């Protein structure tokens, strides 16, 4: 029996956790994005390409600065530092059939949003210490937290978000939440999506 919003059972168990309309939403967003980019490029007689190139260069430098900041100021999650959290990260990645990304723990300062990113072919997950500390006695909630970010990496949400025009389709803004949240390693606590 298929669960609402998920792929049918009998498929790859990991694919069963992915929102079934994700591919359709991605195609819709891609088509609308192509139209938006063509209108921008043709409407500005190609000048938008110059701005796009400058923006892409700026984004590359900013992303590089983010990774440098993480490597210099965040604490790596590895077998030497945070061995329990590292083991949990390895287990979650194994359940999703993916390699373990570089992971870092940063001081959340009350912020509750972790993130996953890719840079020059390498994957990164950044977890916030406040959230990890609050889930210390709830391992399934911590699996959800880690699985959500790993789900973004597995589904290549970072790659698509750079191609698609920003907010071209309002439904795709929820795409990351739905697909990422569904890859939560089947924790038994209630899910309300």
Q: pLDDT (tens digit, 9 = 90+) per residue, 76-90?
A: 999 999 999 999 999
HEC string for the chain: CCCCCECCCCCCCCHHHCECCHHHHHHHHHHHHHHHHHHHHHHCCCHHHHHHHHHHHHHHHHHHHHHHHHHHHCEECCCCCCHHHHHHHHHHHHHCCCCCCEEEEECCCCCCCCEEEEECCEEEEEEEHHHHHHCCCCHHHHHHHHHHHHHHHHCCHHHHHHHCCCCCCHHHHCHHHHHHHHCCCCCCCCCCC
- Over range 166-188, report the average pLDDT: 45
Query: Does the pLDDT at position 191 exceed 60?
Result: no
What's the rounded mean pLDDT across residues 161-190?
48
Q: How far apart are CA 21 and CA 55, in angstroms?
A: 31
By the 8 A CB rule, do 132 and 145 touch? yes
pLDDT > 70 fraction of the chain, expressed in percent and rounded: 72
Tokens 């990890």 correspond to what residue?
Answer: 132
Residue listed under structure tokens 């929820």: 174
Tokens coding 44? 């500005």
Q: Say yes or no to pLDDT of 171 above 50.
A: no
149 touches 125 (CB < 8 A):
yes
**Token pair 């359940």 in the structure block, residue:** 95
Q: Output the average pLDDT for the chain.
A: 76
Cα diameter, the chain: 58
Is pLDDT above 60 for 170?
Answer: no
Tens-place pLDDT, residues 35-70: 888 888 888 887 888 888 888 899 889 989 999 999
Query: Which residue in this structure is represented by tokens 């390409």?
Result: 49
Q: Which residue has the higher pLDDT, 173 or 68?
A: 68
pLDDT band at 5 (very low <50, low <70, confident <90, very high): very low
CA distances from 167 to 87, 157, 162 (A): 36, 14, 11
Q: Are 167 and 173 within 8 A, CB to CB?
A: yes
Q: Is the pLDDT of residue 2 over 80?
A: no
Q: Catalogue all structural domains in the chain, each as residue range(s) with its CATH number.
A: 15-182 (3.30.2010.10)
Residues 148-165 pLDDT 10s: 899 888 887 776 666 665
Q: Is the pLDDT of residue 91 over 80?
A: yes
pLDDT of residue 165: 55
- Taking only the tens place, the pLDDT of each residue in 96-146 is 888 999 999 998 787 778 888 888 889 999 999 988 888 888 988 998 899
pLDDT for residue 185:
44
| pLDDT in the model for residue 106 | 92
User: CA separation (Å) from 135 to 23, 51, 138, 161, 168?
Assistant: 32, 44, 5, 29, 35
């Amino acid at each position: 029996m298929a669960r609402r919003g998920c792929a049918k059972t009998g498929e790859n168990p990991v694919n069963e956790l992915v929102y079934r309309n994700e591919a359709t939403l991605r195609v819709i967003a891609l088509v609308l994005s192509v139209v938006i980019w063509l209108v921008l490029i043709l409407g500005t007689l190609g000048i938008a390409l110059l701005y796009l190139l400058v923006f892409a260069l700026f984004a590359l430098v900013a992303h590089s600065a983010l990774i440098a900041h993480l490597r210099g100021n965040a604490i790596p999650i590895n077998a030497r530092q945070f061995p329990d959290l590292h083991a949990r990260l390895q287990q979650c990645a194994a359940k999703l059939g993916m390699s373990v990304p570089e992971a870092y723990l940063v001081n959340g300062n009350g912020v509750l949003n972790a993130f996953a990113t890719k840079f020059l072919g390498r994957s990164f997950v950044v977890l916030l210490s406040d959230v990890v500390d609050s889930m210390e006695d709830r391992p399934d909630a911590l699996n959800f937290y880690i699985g959500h970010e790993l789900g973004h990496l597995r589904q290549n949400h970072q790659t698509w978000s750079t191609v698609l025009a920003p907010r071209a389709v309002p439904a795709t803004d929820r795409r990351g939440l739905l697909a990422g949240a569904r890859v939560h390693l089947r924790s038994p606590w209630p899910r309300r999506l």
